[in-house]
Amino acid sequence: MTTILLLVLALALVAAVGVVVWRARRPSPPSIDASTATPLPAPPDEVAPVEPPPEPTAQGPPEALAEVDLVEPTPSAQSLRGAATKSRGLFAALRSLRGRGKVDAATYDELEETLLRADVGVSTTQAILADLRARVGAGELASTDDLVDALREDLIARLELVSGAAPEDLVVDPDPEVVSVWLMVGVNGVGKTTTLGKLAAREAARGNPVLLAAGDTFRAAAAEQLTQWAERSGVELVRGEAGGDPSAVVFDAVQRAKARGNGVVLADTAGRLHTKVNLVEELKKIRRVADRPPGKVTEVLLVIDATTGQNALAQARQFTEAVAVTGVVLTKLDGTARGGVVVAIQHELGLPVRFVGTGEGPADLQPFVARDFVDALFEDDLAEG
């Protein structure tokens, strides 16, 4: 409390002095015309809803979607690789390393640059390189070719190690009395709603009648967006009032699922920055409520935008702390971004990547396969070698 009193006072003082300053300035105001653009007041008061940036979405008319094979959302590396190639062959830079023979300092610099440019992050990159250095030192790797191959294997091992066997099988509680809840969390605009829609389409196609909960009651028109998804894949949706309590929506959805015999509730949440304590508390509450019998939260998927840089680590850390994230969905991998930050997330937090989103259609959600992911990164390189 002491601090608060002092802070208020200090602020009041600053403000008072400032105000006097400004008043003193009045007599000869600088010529302010409309274009001088005095900064806009930004008086944020209390806790407020989250800024709702748009999320990516499905495109194309629904009738076209009907033709898409929803049953097997091609877990092959083909499309992933395609996506990565489109984005300039991510590790193309490594090509120049091939066949150079001896490993020297410049080689490491190049590897470092490549990893850093892929958003892997400084500390993870250094850890990876330290491993490689040790192996070169031990005489295990002689040429740059070996080194590049070793890097590739190393990345696969890192990603596979924690990913486990089947990332695509999200956990459903075996007890038929229990309604499993899969929660989508993440910051604004990463594609939670879109991912949820794709996931719903996928589950529906697999004959798992899921129930959607439009837990994003904050962003304008978020529920409408999800409604469109629900209609496309013919699943049911529970939505609440705009601005209502998201926990209530999730609660209702669990009750409804119980009554209708849906085994799984897919719950959307509003995007929130992991630094907003009040919003994270709200998320914790959603989780608590969803965990109330007959509901049980079996998966909490953190959606991360592949364009995100090192901040994704902070996001993963905070969300894991708050709601025990069980896996990551990496979206927007069809752009130029590399999504290398998942390596860092796995390295530092051991969170497995479960799915990758590579487009806006319902089928553009694939289970994450470490080998394919890394192969896609190395594609140019493999073609060369």
Partner 1 sequence: MFDALADRLERISGRLRGRGRLSQADLDEALAEIRTALLDADVEFSVARDFCAHVAERCSVEALSRSLTPGQQVVKAVHEELVAILGGETLKITYASRPPTVVLLAGLQGAGKTTAAGKLAVWFKSQGRNPLLVGADLQRPAAVEQLRLLAEQASVAFTSAGGDPVATATAGVAEAIRLGRDVCIIDTAGRLSIDQALMDEVRQISQATEPQYTFLVIDAMTGQDAVHTAKAFHETLELDGVILTKLDGDARGGAALSVKTVVGRPIAFASTGEKLDDLDLFHPDRMASRILGMGDVLSLIEQAERTMDQEKVAASAGRLMEGRFTFDDFLEQLSQVKKMGSLGGLMKLMPGMNREMRAAAEQIDDRELARIEGIVHSMTPAERQDPSIIDRGRQARIARGAGRSVADVSQLLKQFKEMQKMMRSLGGAMPGGGKGKLGQMRQMAKAARQNPEELQALLGGQVPAGLGAAGPKPWAAAPPARKGGTNKKKKGGRVTPPKGARIVRLTRGLPVEPRADAVRRDGRANLVAVKLRLVRMGKKKQPTYRVVAADSRSPRDGRFLEILGTYAPRGASKADPETIVKIDNDAALKWLQQGAQPTERVQKLLVTSGAWEAFTAAKAAK
Region binding partner 1 by CB under 8 A among candidate stretches 168-176, 200-208, 252-260, 268-276 = 268-276
In angstroms, the first-to-last Cα distance of the chain is 66
Binding of partner 1 by 81 (CB under 8 A): no
Q: b vs e for 205-234, b when ≥16 Cβ sit within 10 Å of the residue's Cβ?
A: beeebbbbbbbbbbbeebbebbbebbebbe
Binding of partner 1 by 188 (CB under 8 A): yes
Among 65, 127, 314, 349, binds partner 1 (CB under 8 A): 314
| Residue 109: CB minimum distance to partner 1, A | 11
Region binding partner 1 by CB under 8 A among candidate stretches 12-20, 68-76, 149-157, 291-299 = 12-20
Binding of partner 1 by 66 (CB under 8 A): no
As a whole number of angstroms, the distance between CA 347 and CA 88 comes to 25
| Residue 291: CB minimum distance to partner 1, A | 26
For residues 235 and 204, the answer to whether their CB atoms sit within 8 Å is yes
The answer for residues whose C-beta is within 8 angstroms of residue 132's C-beta and 6 or more apart is 108, 111, 141, 147, 150, 151, 154
Mask for 18-57, x = binds partner 1 (CB under 8 A): xxxxxxxx----x---xxxxxxxxxxxxxxxxxxxxxxxx
As a whole number of angstroms, the distance between CA 385 and CA 372 comes to 17
* Residues 106-145, interacting with partner 1 (CB under 8 A): 113, 116-119, 121-122
As a whole number of angstroms, the distance between CA 316 and CA 349 comes to 8
Counting residues that bind partner 1 (by CB under 8 A) gives: 95
Binding of partner 1 by 105 (CB under 8 A): no
Strand partners, 214: 239
* Residues 219-238, interacting with partner 1 (CB under 8 A): 219-222, 224-225, 228-229
| Residue 289: CB minimum distance to partner 1, A | 22
Q: The tokens of 188 are what?
A: 């604004």
**24 or 138: CB nearest partner 1:** 24
Among 161, 275, 293, 385, binds partner 1 (CB under 8 A): 275
**247 or 358: CB nearest partner 1:** 358
Determine the distance from the C-alpha atom of residue 321 to the mean position of all C-alpha atoms in its chain, rounded to a whole number: 16
As a whole number of angstroms, the distance between CA 272 and CA 191 comes to 12
* Residues 191-210, interacting with partner 1 (CB under 8 A): 191
